[in-house]
Amino acid sequence: MSTLGAPGAPRAPDVTGFTRALYWPRTLFARLALILCIGLVLSQVLSFTLTMTERDDATATMMTDYISREVAISVALLDHLPAAERAQWLPQLARRSYGFILGPGTPGEPPDASRSRQVEAAITAGLAGRYALTSNSVPGVGEHLQIHLQLSDGSPLTIDFRPAAALPLSNWLPAVMVAQLVVLALCCWLAVRVATRPLNELARVADALGPDLKAERLAEEGPSEVARAARAFNAMQERIAGHVAERMQILAAISHDLQTPITRMRLRVDVMDDNSEAAKLTQDLREMEQLVKEGVAYARTLHGTGEAPRRVDLDALLDSLVCDYVDAGSPVSYDPRLDVAIVTRVQALRRIVGNLVDNALKYGGAAAIAVSESAAHDAVTIAVRDHGPGIPEEALEKVFEPFYRLETSRNRGTGGTGLGLAISRQLAVAMGAQLTLRNHPQGGLEARLVLARAA
């Protein structure tokens, strides 16, 4: 019974996938260039092979016709000469590929080489049946044919044929072929580069499209297909920016309109006699107002931030932030410190760190801020750690979703709208930073904000 595919049976390695990953390039530019170069080189080699084959065949046909005529004339001349004078004429009648022997020659097997059979047929046709011919190949190195006949006086005559080597190539032909291949490779490279440049430009502009939707426009020029794609991409950017702006206006209008009834309700609550119910309603109104403010803030971060990056002393910025919390009686520490200047959006950074510290205080009771620099000195990491219960591993990314709140790992009774981390993540994206969460090995949750030193 075959064990192929049976559980526990050894599985052969995926050689095809390994070969494909090893030899097949990943970029479109390299793939197109490779396909075109291989195709053109193969066509060039095929053309050269066909040309050389045709040249050899034409040369062989011409040489065979020439030998047929020359041998017929030479045999006729030797047949008319006296037997004593024939030996004197043999050197003059000999050629590069054949000669004459006054004798029976060397016996052997019938010829089997195609060139020998072709020459034999041509000589037989040239002598026009005037002589009885026999032929055989001579053992030895290379092709060697002998054709035997008898002259009119009964003297044996042997035509000794050794096919000449193929015509040599000209000295300049290899250089011309190399030059042609170089020209073909350059043309392939130029054609593929021109064809893929619009795709690279499109990818660059698409990568530069941030939350503010203010990426540069593509140049609507070039071939019709490229210009059409550029126009479609520019129109898409405009439509997206228009839709987001429209929703921002709607959200701002709703927020503005909600402020009035909320304020009116708070005024009515203030004049209520039942203090316990009034306190509950006041708390509900405050939560509604906070939810509206956080929702507007999150929508604005989705649309990016208009704050311009500027150079700031990171140690001074974090120290002032920590001092504000300490003055308010919150257990926030900052150590170790790092004397480094970065270029970033200061207010956005303050809000991100503030949100992370607020979460650490709310769910862990205390917050510890630490700053470190990467080995390449091109990025700075701000870590905010608490000593709370942490969160499940599968929820480390879900907590960045808007309005997502943990019900078991965190105390829901502490309040919150579920937008703090979502706002922080959006601000980090707008700044070109990276915000992640992880459960610290020694307990608690650690938020890590990685900033580039230069925006």
- Per-residue pLDDT, 300: 64
- Per-residue pLDDT, 445: 92
Q: How many angstroms separate the CA atoms of 246 and 253, rounded?
A: 11
Q: Are residues 312 and 293 part of one domain?
A: no
Buried b (16+ CB within 10 A) or exposed e, 344-368: bbbebbbbbbbbbbbbbbbbbebbb
Would 196 be classed as within a structural domain? no
Q: How many angstroms separate the CA atoms of 346 and 181, rounded?
A: 57
Q: Are residues 264 and 328 part of one domain?
A: no
Give how many domains the chain has, as a whole number. 3
Hey, which residues does 400 pair with through a beta bridge?
Answer: none
Would 213 be classed as within a structural domain? no
- Per-residue pLDDT, 305: 59
Would 381 be classed as within a structural domain? yes
Q: How many angstroms separate the CA atoms of 133 and 118, rounded?
A: 15
For Cα atoms 443, 373, 306, give the angle at the middle one, nearest 5 degrees: 95
- Per-residue pLDDT, 265: 82
Specify whether the CB–CB gap between 366 and 387 falls below 8 A.
yes
pLDDT at 4 over 70: no
Q: Are residues 446 and 315 part of one domain?
A: yes
Would 121 be classed as within a structural domain? yes
Specify whether the CB–CB gap between 74 and 102 falls below 8 A.
no
Measuring CA to CA, how many Å separate 343 from each of 300, 303, 321, 356?
22, 21, 18, 21
Single out the residue in 259, 274, 301 at which a domain terminates. 301
3-state SS, residue 158: strand
Q: Are residues 312 and 415 part of one domain?
A: yes
Report the sign of the C-alpha dihedral through residues 269, 273, 275, 276, in that order. negative
What does the pLDDT average to over 293-300? 67
Q: Which of 228-242, 287-301, 441-455 has the lowest mean pLDDT?
A: 287-301
Q: Are residues 228 and 95 part of one domain?
A: no
**Domain with 236 in it: what CATH number?**
1.10.287
- Per-residue pLDDT, 303: 56
- Per-residue pLDDT, 1: 39
pLDDT at 367 over 50: yes
- pLDDT band (50, 70, 90) for residue 376: low
- Per-residue pLDDT, 304: 54
What does the pLDDT average to over 419-423? 80
* CA-based nearest residue to 119, from 151, 96, 144: 144
Reading the block at residue 320, the tokens are 């002032």
- pLDDT band (50, 70, 90) for residue 432: confident
Would 24 be classed as within a structural domain? no
Would 338 be classed as within a structural domain? yes
- Per-residue pLDDT, 345: 87
**Domain with 372 in it: what CATH number?**
3.30.565.10
What does the pLDDT average to over 317-334? 92
Q: Are residues 430 and 329 part of one domain?
A: yes
For 247-272, what is each residue's pLDDT tens digit?
A: 777 777 777 777 778 888 877 777 77
Q: Are residues 412 and 444 part of one domain?
A: yes
Q: Are residues 408 and 359 part of one domain?
A: yes
- Per-residue pLDDT, 15: 44
Specify whether the CB–CB gap between 340 and 373 falls below 8 A.
yes
Specify whether the CB–CB gap between 353 and 380 falls below 8 A.
no
For strands 367-373 and 332-334, give the pairing: parallel
What does the pLDDT average to over 105-112? 81
- pLDDT band (50, 70, 90) for residue 23: low
Q: Are residues 344 and 276 part of one domain?
A: no
Q: Which of 113-122, 310-319, 361-370 has the lowest mean pLDDT?
A: 113-122
pLDDT at 408 over 80: no
- Per-residue pLDDT, 113: 73
Single out the residue in 245, 272, 301 at which a domain terminates. 301
Q: Are residues 254 and 233 part of one domain?
A: yes
**Domain with 127 in it: what CATH number?**
3.30.450.300
Q: Are residues 420 and 402 part of one domain?
A: yes
Query: Using N-to-C axis directions, what is the helix angle for 28-80 and 173-208, rounded to 10°?
Result: 170
Mean pLDDT, all residues of the chain: 79
- Per-residue pLDDT, 410: 45
Strand arrangement of the beta sheet that strand 98-101 belongs to: 98-101, 156-161, 145-150, 134-137
- Per-residue pLDDT, 114: 73
Specify whether the CB–CB gap between 218 and 201 falls below 8 A.
yes
Reading the block at residue 251, the tokens are 């959200």
pLDDT at 203 over 90: no
Which secondary-structure segment (H or E) carries 424? helix 420-431
Q: Are residues 249 and 131 part of one domain?
A: no
Q: Which domain holds residue 326?
A: 308-452
Measuring CA to CA, how many Å separate 259 from each of 245, 252, 397?
21, 11, 33
Ramachandran angles phi, psi of 332, nearest 5°: -125, 130
- pLDDT band (50, 70, 90) for residue 347: confident
Half-sphere exposure of 392 (CA within 13 A, CB side): 8
Q: Which of 42-51, 106-115, 280-289, 378-387 has the highest mean pLDDT?
A: 378-387
- pLDDT band (50, 70, 90) for residue 323: very high
Would 362 be classed as within a structural domain? yes
Single out the residue in 120, 140, 161 at which a domain terminates. 161
To the nearest 10°, report the CA torsion of 377, 381, 382, 383. Answer: -140
- Per-residue pLDDT, 7: 44
Would 26 be classed as within a structural domain? no
Report the sign of the C-alpha dihedral through residues 235, 237, 242, 247, in that order. positive
- Per-residue pLDDT, 357: 93
Q: Which of 7-16, 91-100, 209-218, 390-399 has the lowest mean pLDDT?
A: 7-16
For 167-186, what is each residue's pLDDT tens digit?
A: 667 778 788 888 888 888 88
Question: Which of the two residues, 64 and 386, has the higher pLDDT score?
Answer: 386
What does the pLDDT average to over 442-454? 88
- Per-residue pLDDT, 9: 46
pLDDT at 17 over 70: no
